[in-house]
Structure 1
Amino acid sequence: MNALALYGRYIITSLRAQAQYPTATLMLTAGHCAATSIEILCVFALFHRFGSVGGWSFGEAALFYALVNIMFSLADLLSRGFEVFGTDFVRTGAFDRVLLRPRAAALQLAGYEVRLSRLGRLIQASIVLVFATNLVPITWDARAVAIALWAVAGGIGLFMGIMVLQATLAFWTVDSLEIMNVLSYGGVQAAQYPLNIYAAWFRRVLTFGLPLACVAYYPVLAILRRPDPLGAPDWLLPLAPIAGFAFLALSFVVWRTGMARYASTGS
């Protein structure tokens, strides 16, 4: 069985387990959808108060919001094992069993649990995407759709990379540190707004440190066919999401370093 087929089996097993409690799953999904809806209301309140922010309208900001949250919801859906790695694997010693199996540890963790409740954020973000399309004159031709899908793929890679780094810290700290939520959930909040509204030092962080701008800001500019007010060349805009995959690759390099340091709890 190749890796992709095995990962599919992991997903099917997880979905079957949650299907045993359909009402609870639906309630959790609906609750997650309702809870995340508050975020877009906050964005609307900001633009309703000031009209425009940094030369951007609410409809354009809603497009940022929708794409970023679609990326994050899919990454969160597919990387549950890395999120709970410290508590469920390192602290309990269960990671020993993972290492004894003849498959990559990262593959097993990625397929550990696929939480359907995380579809709530995905549904809500998809609704906002439709809403933003009605507010902003976007031509969803083949080019725009391709850029959007490419950006989402790069964003999934970026957010999964953040979760891999969070899990890697547990090799040294035993438990995953909550400070990593600053990069994951905080990153979602930062990427929901155009890059040019931030200070110069923070723009550099979001471009070269944690390349959220590369998977959100630049692709949205390409979709809107709008020149970058910060001066980035037009040819760079649709290529920028490749930074998300590069970040994921670097995260796995750090992950392998952490695995080499792992020592069982002996439990």
Structure 2
Amino acid sequence: MTWQADVAAYRAVIGSRMRSQRSHRGNFRIDLTSSLLVGLIELAEVWVLFHNVPRIGGVGFTEMLLVFGLADCAYSVADMIFGHCDRLPDFIRAGTLDAFYLRPQPVLLQLITSDISLRRLARTVVGLVALTAGLCLADIDWSVAKAALVVLAVACGFAIFAAAFVWAAGMQFFLIDGAEATNAVVYGGRYAASQPASVWNKPLKVLFVFAFPMAFTAYLPAVQLLGLPGPSWLPSWLGWCGPVAAVWAWLLALLTWRVGVRHYQGGGG
């Protein structure tokens, strides 16, 4: 098969998943509404926090909208495309993962295209609104470079969160019911990314800067955009290092996935 045929096949699969979700319109509206409420509740948590404390870690509510918006936009899109990778433990336990090995496509690509969660589009809207408000209200000395940094931050944030989902899926080949352990990194990392890294203690900085570079998805680009000094261990110029962090995250994810795929011995059925 040519690459055009491969792309057409994957587009057909993804298209069928999208149509199947939209076919039940009532359920689809409920899913969209619930996803929107989750995003609004998380944004409300930020408002409540800064309603009682004017600044946290040198960041006020306006600046925090920028951090939250960058993190939530990148995470929501990654969750929509890659979030269903956390279903891998179900495939392993049921033995249905073995069918992935029989097809002439890469196992990871089959897993990624096995579903797409359109309901998470509503959560992306919350992130976009927060990001737009943050960009409009924050005191940013705009230039072409800073406009490019916003686009770069969202793109690299998406790549980093997507890599986290792939890493978590790869770890399931070695863990028994270990989804909760990896979720602490993936979903905990998403929550950490939407908070100012200046309040993290040293262990959290080691985890979410050097091991899983969540700080590069929102906080560090926001610090660079706002012209703020970075906290200890995190100088503001690191805001431009999102591509390096994304490459590191994908190297870690693909290595974990490759080892996990080779380690897998089958469902045993």
* 1:25 matched residue in structure 2: 28
Cα deviation code 1:216-239 (max 9, x no counterpart):
222112222333243755544212
Is the counterpart of residue 41 in structure 1 residue 44 in structure 2? yes
Corresponding residue pairs, total: 266
* 2:187 matched residue in structure 1: 185
Is the counterpart of residue 242 in structure 1 residue 212 in structure 2? no
Instruction: Please list every run of 5 or more consecutive structure 1 residues that lacks an aligned counterpart in the other structure.
Output: none
| Larger CA deviation: 73-82 vs 50-59 | 73-82
Shift in alpha-carbon separation, 1:53–1:119, aligned structure 2, 3 A: same
Shift in alpha-carbon separation, 1:233–1:132, aligned structure 2, 3 A: closer
TM-align CA RMSD:
2.1
In 1, are the aligned partners of 2:70 and 2:217 still within 8 Å (CA)?
A: no
In 2, are the aligned partners of 1:215 and 1:241 still within 8 Å (CA)?
A: no
1:77 to 70, 77, 80: 80
Aligned 1:1-267 pairs, distance under 5 A: 1-2=2-3, 4-87=7-90, 89-138=91-140, 141-173=143-175, 175-230=177-232, 232=234, 235-267=237-269
Shift in alpha-carbon separation, 1:239–1:246, aligned structure 2, 3 A: same
Shift in alpha-carbon separation, 1:22–1:145, aligned structure 2, 3 A: farther
Q: Structure 2: which amino acid aligns with 1:9?
A: A
Shift in alpha-carbon separation, 1:141–1:117, aligned structure 2, 3 A: farther
In 1, are the aligned partners of 2:66 and 2:134 still within 8 Å (CA)?
A: yes
Secondary structure in structure 2 of the residue aligned to 1:91: helix
| Larger CA deviation: 5-14 vs 37-46 | 5-14
| Larger CA deviation: 167-176 vs 57-66 | 167-176
Secondary structure in structure 2 of the residue aligned to 1:243: helix
Taking the aligned partners of 1:182 and 1:71, their CA distance within structure 2 comes to 18
Taking the aligned partners of 2:268 and 2:233, their CA distance within structure 1 comes to 56
With the length of structure 1 as denominator, give the TM-score of the two structures.
0.90
In 2, are the aligned partners of 1:166 and 1:176 still within 8 Å (CA)?
A: no
Q: Structure 1: which amino acid aligns with 2:171?
A: L
Taking the aligned partners of 2:147 and 2:42, their CA distance within structure 1 comes to 25
| Larger CA deviation: 23-32 vs 138-147 | 138-147
Superposition deviation, residue 260 in structure 1: 0.9
| Larger CA deviation: 194-203 vs 249-258 | 194-203
User: Percent of aligned positions with the same letter in both sequences?
Assistant: 29
In 2, are the aligned partners of 1:154 and 1:245 still within 8 Å (CA)?
A: no
| Larger CA deviation: 230-239 vs 241-250 | 230-239
Shift in alpha-carbon separation, 1:90–1:229, aligned structure 2, 3 A: closer
| Larger CA deviation: 35-44 vs 230-239 | 230-239
Q: Structure 2: which amino acid aligns with 1:117?
A: R
Taking the aligned partners of 2:176 and 2:94, their CA distance within structure 1 comes to 10
Secondary structure in structure 1 of the residue aligned to 2:173: helix
Taking the aligned partners of 1:236 and 1:266, their CA distance within structure 2 comes to 47
Superposition deviation, residue 6 in structure 1: 4.1
Taking the aligned partners of 1:216 and 1:60, their CA distance within structure 2 comes to 11
Taking the aligned partners of 1:139 and 1:117, their CA distance within structure 2 comes to 36
In 2, are the aligned partners of 1:90 and 1:175 still within 8 Å (CA)?
A: no
Instruction: Please list every run of 5 or more consecutive structure 2 residues that lacks an aligned counterpart in the other structure.
Output: none
